Amino acid sequence: MTKFMAFPTDFLWGAATAAFQIEGAWNQDGKGESIWDRFCHTPGKIGDGTTGDVACDHYHRYRDDIALMRQLGLKAYRFSISWPRVIPNGSGAANPAGLDFYDRLVDELLAANIQPFATLYHWDLPQALQERGGWGNRDTCGHLADYAALMARRLGDRVRHWATVNEPQVIAFLGHRNGEHAPGLEDDRLALQVAHHVLVAHGMAAQAIRGVNPQLKVGIVIDAWSVDALTDSEQDRALAETIWQNSAGWFLGPVFHARYPSRAWQMYGDSAPDIRADDMPLISQRLDFLGLNTYSRLAVKKGRVVKPVPGSEYTEMDWEIHAPALRRMLVRVTRDYVPPPIYITENGAAFPDAVSPDGSVHDPRRIAYLRDHFAQARLAMDDGVDLRGYFVWSLLDNFEWSNGYSKRFGLIHVDYATLQRRIKDSGKWYAQVIAQNGVEI
Ligand code: FCB
């Protein structure tokens, strides 16, 4: 027997992308180089040796892509703005052609009755700023704020929701601690300083946006995966807690409690970041929404992280599929941090999708993944979580950072040789979920 789980009438069903992962046109119409352009062009950095030079060519095909969004019935679309496309050197003169692109994109979305949610920083720092120290240099925070003001002035009459930064944890730790992401640095102390600067930049950008127009809705996007102890032992529960405080907690703490988690802080000793007197109030200023990205969980047993968890399935990213973790995470964040309204700003799964001879793409595992996660989100709402919308990652198959094009997350398949788009079965299924405003389980 199937059961129908209805969502509130104004629930915002959406899909998400990021500029570097889809736009391509890396050096066209005056765009500056980003740290991701530089990283991809450095041999050995990207698993399959590819680059973002063309990606999905969304820069030229955005109209067709919005027509596809309309076919899915999306109510909202989360995209990011490429900073070096609009300010090629990161600070100073703006690039009119870059600004025009985002104008056209937003106009086209509104004409399709799709609400735009803009993210200012989804990892593509202008290379010119990296040459001046990147996120290790506190001046970068002020440059982000200037860029935020520029965009709020330009698009603020049409874009209401603004996220400052996407996943500060990944920026700091993958970019500066283990070198897996641009700019590819490996320095523990720098990583924590970068984490702090990104949070300061968030605070300064939030102020800048509100300075332009106090009506705009400002938020941040944080990646939060539940950390579950698989046993009841004190040791496992303590370890799970430590991992949470060192990951999502390291960012949620400053943003909502104006302090870093104390146990984690002590562990870092001399590596702890330099903080200025007014930083914490700036970082913890009131927000209008919280964006959470979540894909999986970490499981702890007998004093270590277990992988694989016996009996669990894994996606192509080697991330465990465990939908109840989404509900636990949402309930915990609500209880511990008392956030403003929440959006799931990313959730989805990579599978090795193939095009059938008749041109369709059958992806039943993605449908099952999304169905189970939607259901858990609905249960979390019954638990009291103020969840207002859900953005599936991703609209299109795209450039998955250091994995290149090898991981397909899209509701829409992209043939990278021809750039042809095909709505996958999951895309058709999602269109039904949106049309019925609920999910059958
Ligand atoms: C998140 C990123 C997003 C995408 C997904 C799979 O960490 O924000 O750009 O790569 O993972």
The residue-averaged pLDDT of 152-168 equals: 99
To test the ligand 1 pocket, which listed residue (346, 396, 397, 403) has its Cβ within 8 A of the most ligand atoms?
346
Buried b (16+ CB within 10 A) or exposed e, 229-238: beeeeeebee
At 249 the pLDDT is: 98
Report the predicted TM-score, pTM, of the whole model to 2 decimal places.
Answer: 0.98
What DSSP string describes 91-120? Answer: SS---HHHHHHHHHHHHHHHHTT-EEEEEE
The Cα–Cα gap between 26 and 339 comes to: 37
Token pair in block for residue 199: 């949070």
The β-bridge partners of 79 are 118
Cβ(289) to ligand 1 under 6 A? no
Contact 140, 133 (CB under 8 A): yes
Residue 280, H or E segment? helix 279-283
Long-range pairs for 304-308 at CB < 8 Å and ≥24 separation? 304/239, 305/243, 306/230
Cβ(212) to ligand 1 under 6 A? no
Q: Give pLDDT tens digits for 187-234.
A: 999 999 999 999 999 999 999 999 999 999 999 999 999 999 999 999
Cβ(346) to ligand 1 under 6 A? yes
Ligand 1 mean position to 166 CA, how many Å? 9
Using the atom order of ligand 1, give the atom closest to the CA of residue 409: 6
Cβ(26) to ligand 1 under 6 A? no
Cis status, amide bond into 308, omega within 30 of 0: yes
The Cα–Cα gap between 322 and 153 comes to: 42
* pLDDT cut 70: percent of the chain above it: 100
Cβ(170) to ligand 1 under 6 A? yes
At 26 the pLDDT is: 98
Closest CA to 125 of 177, 201, 60: 201
The residue-averaged pLDDT of 53-66 equals: 99
The Cα–Cα gap between 15 and 394 comes to: 6
Read off φ and ψ for residue 270, nearest 5 degrees.
Answer: -70, -15
Q: How confident is residue 23, by pLDDT bands cut at 50, 70 and 90? A: very high
Using the atom order of ligand 1, give the atom closest to the CA of residue 170: 7
At 1 the pLDDT is: 83
The residue-averaged pLDDT of 55-83 equals: 99
Query: What residue owns the CA closest to ligand 1's atom 4?
Result: 400
pLDDT over threshold 90, residue 269: no
Lowest mean pLDDT among 90-104, 138-152, 257-271: 257-271
Ligand 1 mean position to 167 CA, how many Å? 8
- Catalytic center residues: 167, 346
At 373 the pLDDT is: 99
The residue-averaged pLDDT of 2-12 equals: 97
Average pLDDT of the chain to the nearest whole number: 98
The Cα–Cα gap between 410 and 420 comes to: 13
